[in-house]
Amino acid sequence: MLYRKLGKTGEKVSILGYGCMRLPVLDGAPEKIDEKKATELLRCAIDHGVNYVDAAYSYHGGIGEAFLGKALADGYREKVLLATKLSCKRVNCKEDMDRFLNEQLEKLQTDCIDFYLLHAVKKSYWEKMKRFGVMEFLERARAAGKIKYTGFSFHDELEVFKEVADAYPWDLCQIQFNYLDEDFQAGIEGLKYAAEKGLAVVIMEPLRGGNLASNVPGEAKKVWDRARIKRTPAEWAFRYLWDYPEISVVLSGMSEPEHLTENLRIAKEGYPNSLLTEEKSLIREVREIYRSRIKVSCTGCKYCMPCPSGVNIPRNLSYLNDVFVLDDVENARFQYGVLLSPEEKAGNCVECGECEDVCPQNIKIREMLKEVKEFMEK
């Protein structure tokens, strides 16, 4: 495993971090973590040098942290830097911040959280948290020894990112970044801005919800095949990120043993400034192929779920993307018809708009679901 300095904290961190948003589950239910399998995967990753574990209050229907508290027993807690997040969405008064933190410490079975982040910061959440005195709260929590370092994860425009980064002496920021998202949200400019301020940069969605590793368009495969050094699509995506010296950690939600095995292998060569000029050119070609085909920029984060009407929003949007990215209409329609229950289908949407209020990608979900319905139910 390769390690990098984590910003101004001076901590040494594995370049591959374990993201706990997509742990293996039973019966396809997010709130039913397959604890045996998930524990084995997490401990195997740690045994192979992964020392950064990322969680959040809301992951897996609110049970993710309690699972981690058990999975990191037997000495594993002492082997990792543990990050989790305060749910900005759920904070409704200043007292909530202390209440959530104390609850998280109990769930995680720890006296101190190494990295405590504000979760999914956007303009409206940031304004609310400032009113509740979030910066004073962070200082109190740090002084009490309940947290060691502070940070924020981010889903909004670059201007808002800079405003938040400038407002407080953060230790870390977590941004969505991959070779498709150079100009999306914080983007490459936000990455450079944070690094110049001494903030450690942690990357989420390196594979765009898995879309850059699976269901690769034929045009993109032909580009990768031209490379002198052969790599898997996932490897190209990770190597692109690790080529940036400003990036400390790349998170991956490894829900299968083969995911972990491949990522550990890739991480052995994740040196900064190691990609050749010709390889960067190939990545640019593939980027343009994807950008020309993707219909909706859903990453499958499931912040929009559960839908009050029962619509499986991420699955519906993924089928729409499959049509355009893979050019496979019949298979997308077949899966839509067979794999979704009637209440999960796009036509069940009542346009309440709750999903759009929490979507970190700012997708016009109601419009997209209308398109799914029209496209899939012809």
CATH number reported for the structural domain that contains residue 35 in this entry: 3.20.20.100
Domain limits at 102? 3-292
Same domain, 14 and 96: yes
Same domain, 57 and 178: yes
pLDDT digits (tens, 9 = 90+) for 64-103: 999 999 999 999 999 999 999 999 999 999 999 999 999 9
Residue 304 lies in a domain: no
Same domain, 76 and 163: yes
- pTM recorded for the entire structure: 0.85
Same domain, 152 and 40: yes
Same domain, 272 and 341: no
Same domain, 141 and 268: yes
Same domain, 345 and 276: no
Strand, helix or coil at 60? helix
The residue type at 297? S
Question: Angle at CA 88, nearest 5°, toward 84 and 91?
Answer: 110
pLDDT digits (tens, 9 = 90+) for 157-214: 899 999 999 999 999 999 999 998 898 889 999 999 999 999 999 999 999 888 888 8
Same domain, 220 and 323: no
CA 99/CA 108 separation, integer angstroms: 14
CA 206/CA 54 separation, integer angstroms: 14
Residue 308 lies in a domain: no
pLDDT at 318: 87
Strand, helix or coil at 320? helix
pLDDT digits (tens, 9 = 90+) for 297-349: 888 888 999 999 999 999 899 889 888 876 678 878 888 887 888 999 999 99
| 247 or 29: which leads in pLDDT | 247
Same domain, 334 and 204: no
Sign of CA pseudo-dihedral 334, 340, 345, 346: negative
Task: Report the domain count for the chain.
Answer: 2
The alpha helices in the chain, defined as continuous H runs, are 35-47, 64-71, 94-108, 123-131, 134-143, 158-167, 187-196, 218-225, 233-242, 257-267, 277-293, 313-326, 329-339, 354-358, 365-376
Same domain, 32 and 180: yes
Residue 275 lies in a domain: yes
Same domain, 214 and 339: no
CA 207/CA 351 separation, integer angstroms: 30
CA 155/CA 358 separation, integer angstroms: 10
pLDDT at 224: 97
Of the residues 292, 322, 345, the one at which a domain ends: 292
Residue 184 lies in a domain: yes
Find where tokens 């920021």 sit: 173
Token pair of 291 as six digits: 């950008």
Residue 307 lies in a domain: no
What's the gap between Cα 254 and its chain centre? Answer: 12
Same domain, 240 and 126: yes
Q: Specify the DSSP class assigned to residue 310.
A: -
Contact criterion met (CB below 8 Å) for 93 and 134: no
Residue 220 lies in a domain: yes
Residue 298 lies in a domain: no
DSSP bridge partners of 174: 153, 202
Residue 272 lies in a domain: yes
Quick one: how many helices (H) and strands (E) in the chain? 15, 10
104-117 burial code (b ≥16 CB/10 A, e <16): bbebbebeebbbbb
Is it the case that residue 134 has pLDDT exceeding 90? Answer: yes
- Our CA dihedral for 278, 282, 288, 289, rounded to 10 degrees, sits at 160
